[in-house]
Amino acid sequence: MKLITESGPLLEAQACIQNSPWASLDTEADSLHHYIEKLCLMQVSIPGEDYVIDPLGALDLGPLVRILEKKELLLHGADFDLRILKRFYQFSPPSVFDTMIAAQLLGYEKQGFADLAEKHCGVKLSKKAQRADWSERPLSQELLTYAANDTHYLRLIADKIKEELAAAGRLEWHRQFCERMTQSALAEKEAKSVAGLEWQIKGAKDLNPKALTILRELWNWREEEARRRDRPTFKILHSDTLVQIAEWSSNQALTDVAELPKAPRNIKRDYRDVLNQTLAKARTLAPTEYTAKKPEHGKRRWTNKAETLLKALKEEREKLAKELKVQPSLLATNYVLEEFSSGVPAGKQEMARADLLMPWQVEVIGESFLKILHPKVSG
């Protein structure tokens, strides 16, 4: 394993990676420990060498990223790595080979990287560093070894798992799945912050305007506190706790968060006064200043027929998934089933509309689903 912290060794590594037909890739970040996430390590393995590269030094990783984009890339659980590399370096490979997706398509019960390394390489890898703060310097030898192992075994795992995919007739499934995942991970999504809606977290849509206003104030306080202390927001207060406080306090004449049912200890110990001040500020607002509920566009109006179809499709999906020994959601998500139930597709071509399904999914579930959706035609 080579730890790279200077530009000279980085240039040498780039030359070797440039000449390799493939590369295994992984990254480590510090979102579990800091407010603003940083890319802390990039691990790259090629035949005969493992590189652990330190982006926190004064290194220009742009040329390396451009080289990697053109390689056959092996990753495990690639979604996060693709997103963070896109954010910092505009990383945009056409596709990757993801061993986690392969494990899912083969119906593995254990799909973690350490599980695959033990199954296919006969090694037991430590999991102790999974929650490490990768921004700390210097990194211990234990952490560096852990990081290098994340790419060292990927080639062997990928080769063996590819053989299993071929034997099961699922190589094309995997190719399509990896391509779809890569496109999704790299897609530019409109940030909620553009519209000032970043505070509308899970659970917000069920709150009334008064509670929504309180939630907005609580969210703003948490952001400032997390930024000030350089901690991730969930280590200040969890989002579901913010929603709980907002809903509860909106029904109280005078509010002391210490009286919140099952209040977390840090509310009473650390944040009681500042939260009470935040709630008091929100209560001074007139109803005309309350936050309006976000309109729910395209909300389905369910008919009895649609409900019946949805139930039948779920049962058929469960049956097919059991036969194929995969998780039902791999064949079609609940969202797709709801779309089909409320807007019945006429045939396989329409099933693939708007990229709801990949071609392999249409082939696997298409016929049996159409028999449910069009019983008179199929009968």
Average model confidence (pLDDT) across the chain: 91
Among the listed ranges 62-71, 203-212, 306-315, which one has the minimum average pLDDT value?
A: 203-212
Q: How confident is the model at residue 242 (pLDDT cuts 50, 70, 90)?
A: very high
Q: How confident is the model at residue 175 (pLDDT cuts 50, 70, 90)?
A: very high
Half-sphere exposure of 73 (CA within 13 A, CB side): 28
CB 368 within 8 A of CB 316: yes
Q: Do 2-186 and 198-289 have matching folds?
A: no
As a whole number, mean pLDDT of residues 137-164 equals 97
Q: How confident is the model at residue 190 (pLDDT cuts 50, 70, 90)?
A: very low
Separation CA 107–CA 241 (nearest Å)? 36
89 Cβ contact partners less than 8 Å away, ≥ 6 residues apart: 61, 62, 65
For residue 48, pLDDT over 50 is answered with: yes
| 198-289 CATH | 1.10.150.80
Q: Tell me the percentage of the chain whose pLDDT exceeds 70.
A: 93
Q: Which residue has the tokens 């852990």?
A: 146
Q: Which residue has the tokens 């006429």?
A: 346
Q: Tell me, what's the pLDDT at 194?
A: 44
Separation CA 27–CA 5 (nearest Å)? 15
For residue 137, pLDDT over 70 is answered with: yes
Tell me the CA distances in angstroms from 312 to 84, 236, 371, 372, 375, one per residue in order.
40, 44, 11, 7, 12
Helix (H) or strand (E) holding 113: helix 113-121
For residue 47, pLDDT over 70 is answered with: yes
Q: Tell me, what's the pLDDT at 298?
A: 53
Angle between helices 171-186 and 154-167 (to 10 degrees): 130
Separation CA 44–CA 63 (nearest Å)? 14
Q: Tell me, what's the pLDDT at 192?
A: 46
Give this prediction's pTM. 0.89
Please report the DSSP string for 60-79 in residue order: --HHHHHHHHTSEEEESSHH
Among the listed ranges 74-83, 285-294, 308-317, 319-328, which one has the minimum average pLDDT value?
A: 285-294
Domain extent listing, the chain: 2-186, 198-289, 304-378
Q: Which fold has domain 2-186?
A: Nucleotidyltransferase; domain 5 (3.30.420)
As a whole number, mean pLDDT of residues 122-150 equals 94
| 304-378 CATH | 1.10.150.80
- At 378, give phi and psi (nearest 5°): -75, -25
Among the listed ranges 73-82, 147-156, 289-298, which one has the minimum average pLDDT value?
A: 289-298
Q: How confident is the model at residue 353 (pLDDT cuts 50, 70, 90)?
A: confident
For residue 176, pLDDT over 50 is answered with: yes
Bigger pLDDT: 294 vs 271: 271
As a whole number, mean pLDDT of residues 244-262 equals 85
